[in-house]
């Protein structure tokens, strides 16, 4: 029960950070879901406990965890959401906006140094208890156009303007727009400055490069950080606000895009842990996790966002503007696929066997929000931190047949055989070189591009190393002496 309440307290904190509704009924429902999930993880030994999340329990829970509810939020207004489709259609016709010229953005909180609880427990060792759930938090603003072919550079709001991890690093070269606020909140002032100095110039450049008229429509929810006078700040960008209490139903970024991004971020973080702890003379997973800084997190944030496919971004508009969704565009794939991929990564990183339900709980959005997973995340080869490799599949398909079979003929002739030790050492040197570049290059965006290219080029060697290790384990041992 204590563990369930700790998880529930973290969930409430996250909901408040995201300015999402938190009511008695929602909390009780989430408590029942977490309790049932933890029971499934523990197995069926003994008599199963029952838990109804009664009002009496909730009153005691509020006292124990100092939960304060200011007001009961209104339910989502399905009728207003349905009526808004006609309103939007009229706006689109009046302004002659194409899907490439219609945008939506939404903010979300991210605990950038937090792992699912089961993974944190796995870090416990002889040196003492593992790290506690981190409170390192930041706010992101994510968005893009309805066509799905243009994702805006993420806006990141951090509690400090000049954290120690970013010393010597030019913020202008970061792959995110860096802003600071003591409480890491997205304030009206920050949003207005982003609108005029980042969003409007980005839209102008995009329209010019695609031969489009310089005009755009930005759809926003009614969050307090969105100033109502934005529409008067640009002659080329029209700002429209979605009806009250409809965002969870029709706002595109709330239709699983942000959840998919967070799933990608978790997967990339675990990829980094697995890569950096593999091999001899490497730090332990716990030691490496303690050294995980905001600089590495920024790279993982940018690359996780970059990996969301255009089809994922486009299909998120299906409820608000179904006509703009491309025919045959794949809906985001089913939720069970990604947790299984994350389980495998957790095992590679030395975090033990992590139950799928624990991963799902970590990724759980607010109730009623769908949880789609972008295409291409159902297994496949794991890529390293901040290094998406769209070209790796093409390289594998174009390589010669002799290489595809592991080069056994050449090695059989005794020509420069690559044993697993040689491959592991070579990959370790490449990784060390990329770390030096990443830690010392003030232009973070440049170092990410180089790292991405090198990582893609080494895809075949990583695959070959896995094959050689499997073959070595399967080979029979030497015959016993008579």
Q: What is the pLDDT of residue 50?
A: 81
Number of domains in the chain: 3
Q: Is the pLDDT of residue 414 over 90?
A: no
Beta-strand (E) ranges in 170-305? 177-180, 216-220, 237-241
Q: Taking Cα atoms as reference points, which of 367, 371, 369, 260 lies closest to residue 32? A: 367
What pLDDT does 99 receive? 98
Average pLDDT estimate for 416-428: 73
Please report the beta strands in 262-351, taking only residues with DSSP state E, as ranges in sequence order: none
> Tokens in use for 480?
């016993």
Name the pairing type of β-strands 177-180 and 155-158: parallel
Among all chains, which residue has been given the structure tokens 């805006």? 152
Beginning with the edge strand found earlier in the chain, give each strand of the sheet holding 237-241 in spatial order. 177-180, 155-158, 137-145, 102-111, 216-220, 237-241
**Among residues 468, 294, 283, 300, which one has the least CA distance to residue 388?**
300
* Per-residue model confidence (pLDDT) at position 256: 87
**Res 338: pLDDT:** 54
Rounded Cα distance between 237 and 228, Å, is 14
Instruction: Write down the pLDDT at residue 195.
Output: 98
For Cα atoms 248, 250, 253, give the angle at the middle one, nearest 5 degrees: 75
Same-domain status, 7 and 38: yes
For residues 260 and 466, give the distance between their C-alpha atoms in angstroms, rounded to a whole number: 28
**pLDDT score recorded for residue 281:** 67
| Residue 416 confidence class, pLDDT cut points 50, 70, 90 | very low
Same domain membership, residue 47 and residue 104: no
At 389 the pLDDT is 36
Query: Which has the closest alpha carbon to 446: 386, 392, 381?
Result: 386
DSSP for 289-308, please give it: HHT--HHHHHHHHHHHHHTS
Assess whether 145 and 58 both reside in one domain.
no
pLDDT of 478 above 50: yes
> Does residue 340 register a pLDDT over 80?
no
The pLDDT of 404-430, averaged and rounded, is 58
For residue range 5-55, what is the model confidence (pLDDT) as tens digits?
888 988 887 777 655 667 888 898 889 888 888 888 777 554 567 888 888
Q: How far apart are CA 408 and CA 402, in angstroms?
A: 8
Q: Residue written as tokens 């349905």? A: 82
What average pLDDT does range 169-196 have in this prediction? 92
Is residue 162 in a domain?
yes
The arithmetic mean of pLDDT across residues 140-169, rounded, is: 93
311-343 residues labelled b (16+ CB within 10 A) or e (exposed) = bbbbbbbbbbbeebbeeebeebbebeebbebbb
Average pLDDT over residues 395-403: 33
Q: Could you give the percent of the chain with pLDDT greater than 70?
A: 70
256 and 210, same domain (yes or no): yes
Residue 290 pLDDT: 81
pTM for this structure? 0.63
- Tell whether the model's pLDDT for residue 457 goes beyond 80: no
Domain with 118, as residue range(s), is 78-363
Instruction: State the DSSP H helix or E strand holding residue 420, giving kind and residue range, or none if neither.
Output: helix 420-440
Is the pLDDT at 458 greater than 50, yes or no? Answer: yes
Question: 233-239: long-range contacts (C-beta < 8 A, 24 or more apart)?
Answer: 233/192, 233/195, 233/196, 233/200, 234/195, 234/196, 234/200, 236/200, 236/203, 236/204, 237/195, 237/199, 237/200, 237/203, 238/91, 238/95
467 phi and psi angles, rounded to 5 deg: -65, -45
Task: Judge if 428 and 357 occupy the same domain.
Answer: no
Q: Can you give the pLDDT at residue 408?
A: 38
Compute, in degrees rounded to 10, the torsion defined by CA atoms 292, 295, 297, 303.
-140
CA–CA distance, 341 with 335 (Å, rounded to integer)? 11
What mean pLDDT comes out for the span 306-332? 85
CATH number at residue 47: 1.10.10.60
Q: Give domain status of residue 274, yes or no.
A: yes
Asked whether residue 100 is domain-assigned, the answer is yes
Q: Across-strand partners of 108?
A: 140
State the pairing for strand pair 155-158/216-220.
unpaired
- Calpha distance 180→151 (Å, rounded): 22
115 band by pLDDT with thresholds 50, 70 and 90: confident
Task: Render pLDDT for 120-138 as a digit per residue (tens, 0 to 9).
Answer: 545 555 444 444 545 688 9
Asked if 396 and 338 sit in the same domain, the reply is no
Task: Measure the CA angle with vertex 472, ends 466 and 477; round to 5°.
Answer: 165
Indicate if the pLDDT at residue 334 is higher than 70. Answer: no
- Separation in Å, CA 422 to CA 281, 436, 448, 462, 468: 15, 21, 26, 12, 11
Residue 424 and residue 281 in contact, taking contact as beta carbons nearer than 8 Å:
no
CA 424/CA 408 separation, integer angstroms: 18
Let me know whether 356 and 437 are in one domain: no
Query: Any long-range contacts for 433-436 (C-beta under 8 Å, 24+ apart)?
Result: none
pLDDT at 70: 54
Q: 189: which 2 tokens?
A: 């002032």
- Is 272 among the domain residues? yes
pLDDT tens sequence across 366-376: 333 333 333 33
Residue 443 and residue 309 share a domain: no
Answer whether 460's CB lies under 8 Å from 396's CB.
yes
Give the mean pLDDT of 270-279: 75
Rounded mean pLDDT, 48-68: 83
Look over the chain and give the mean of its residue pLDDT values, rounded to a whole number.
76
Q: Nearest 5°: phi and psi at 240?
A: -125, 145
Q: What is the pLDDT averaged over residues 402-427?
A: 54
Same domain, 176 and 271: yes
Q: What angle do CA 186, 191, 196 make, to 5 degrees?
A: 160
What is the pLDDT, as a whole number, of residue 393?
A: 32
Q: What pLDDT is stored for residue 341 in this prediction?
A: 62
> For residue 368, is it within any domain?
no
| pLDDT band with cut points at 50, 70 and 90 for residue 140 | very high
In a domain, 354, yes or no: yes
Residues 111 and 25 in one domain: no
| Same domain membership, residue 87 and residue 117 | yes
- Which pLDDT belongs to residue 409? 36
| pLDDT score for 130 | 47
Q: What is the pLDDT of residue 300?
A: 93
Quick check: is 383 in a domain? no
Name residue 177's beta-bridge partners. Answer: 155
Residues 45 and 83 placed together within one structural domain of the fold: no
Is the per-residue pLDDT at 192 higher than 80?
yes
pLDDT at 379: 34
For 370, residues 6+ apart whose C-beta sits below 8 A from its C-beta are: 255, 256, 259
In a domain, 376, yes or no: no
- Unique residue bearing structure tokens 């509810």: 69
Task: Say which CATH number the domain at 242 has.
Answer: 3.30.420.10
Nearest 5°: the CA angle 345, 347, 351 is 110
> Which of 55-59, 250-254, 284-288, 379-383 is modeled with the greatest confidence?
250-254
pLDDT reading at 215 higher than 80: yes
């Amino acid at each position: 029960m204590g563990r369930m309440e700790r998880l529930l307290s973290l969930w409430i904190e996250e909901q408040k950070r995201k300015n999402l509704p938190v009511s008695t009924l929602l909390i009780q429902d989430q408590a029942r879901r977490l309790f049932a999930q933890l029971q499934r993880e523990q197995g069926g030994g003994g008599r199963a406990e029952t838990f109804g999340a009664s009002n009496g329990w909730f009153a005691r829970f509020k006292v124990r965890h100092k939960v304060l509810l200011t007001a009961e939020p209104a339910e989502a207004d399905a009728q207003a959401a349905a009526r808004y489709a006609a309103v939007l259609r009229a706006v689109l016709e009046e302004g002659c906006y194409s899907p490439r010229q219609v945008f939506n953005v939404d903010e979300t909180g991210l605990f950038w140094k937090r792992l699912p609880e089961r993974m944190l427990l796995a870090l416990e060792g002889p040196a003492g208890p593992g790290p506690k759930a981190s409170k390192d938090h930041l706010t992101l603003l994510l968005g893009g156009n309805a066509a799905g072919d243009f994702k805006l550079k993420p806006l990141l709001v951090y509690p400090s303007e000049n954290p120690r991890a970013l010393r010597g690093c030019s913020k202008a070269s970061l792959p995110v727009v860096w802003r600071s606020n003591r409480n890491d909140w997205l304030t009206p002032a920050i949003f207005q400055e982003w609108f005029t100095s980042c969003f409007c110039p980005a839209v102008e450049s995009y329209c010019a490069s695609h031969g489009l008229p310089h005009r755009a429509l930005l759809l926003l929810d009614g969050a307090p950080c969105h100033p109502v006078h934005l529409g008067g700040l640009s002659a080329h960008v029209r700002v429209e606000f979605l009806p009250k209490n409809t965002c969870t139903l029709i706002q595109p970024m709330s239709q699983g895009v942000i959840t998919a991004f967070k799933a990608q971020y978790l997967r990339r973080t675990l990829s980094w842990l697995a890569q950096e702890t593999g091999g001899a003379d490497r730090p332990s997973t716990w030691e490496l996790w303690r050294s995980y800084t905001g600089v590495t997190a920024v790279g993982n944030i940018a690359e996780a966002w970059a990996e969301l496919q255009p089809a994922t971004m486009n299909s998120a508009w299906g409820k608000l503007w179904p006509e703009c969704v491309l025919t045959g565009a794949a809906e985001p794939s089913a939720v069970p696929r990604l947790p299984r991929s994350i389980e495998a990564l957790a095992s590679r990183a030395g975090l033990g066997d992590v139950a799928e339900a624990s991963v799902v709980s970590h990724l759980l959005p607010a109730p009623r929000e769908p949880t789609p997973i972008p295409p291409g995340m159902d297994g496949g080869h794991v890529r390293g931190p901040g290094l998406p490799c769209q070209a790796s599949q093409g390289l594998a398909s174009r390589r010669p047949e002799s290489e595809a079979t592991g080069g056994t003929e050449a090695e059989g002739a005794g020509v420069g055989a690559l044993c697993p030790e040689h491959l592991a050492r070579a990959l370790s040197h490449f990784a060390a070189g990329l770390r030096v570049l990443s830690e010392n290059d003030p232009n973070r965006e440049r170092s990410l591009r180089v790292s991405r290219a090198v990582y893609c080029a080494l895809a075949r060697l990583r695959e070959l190393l896995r094959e050689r290790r499997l073959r070595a384990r399967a080979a029979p041992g030497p015959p016993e002496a008579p």
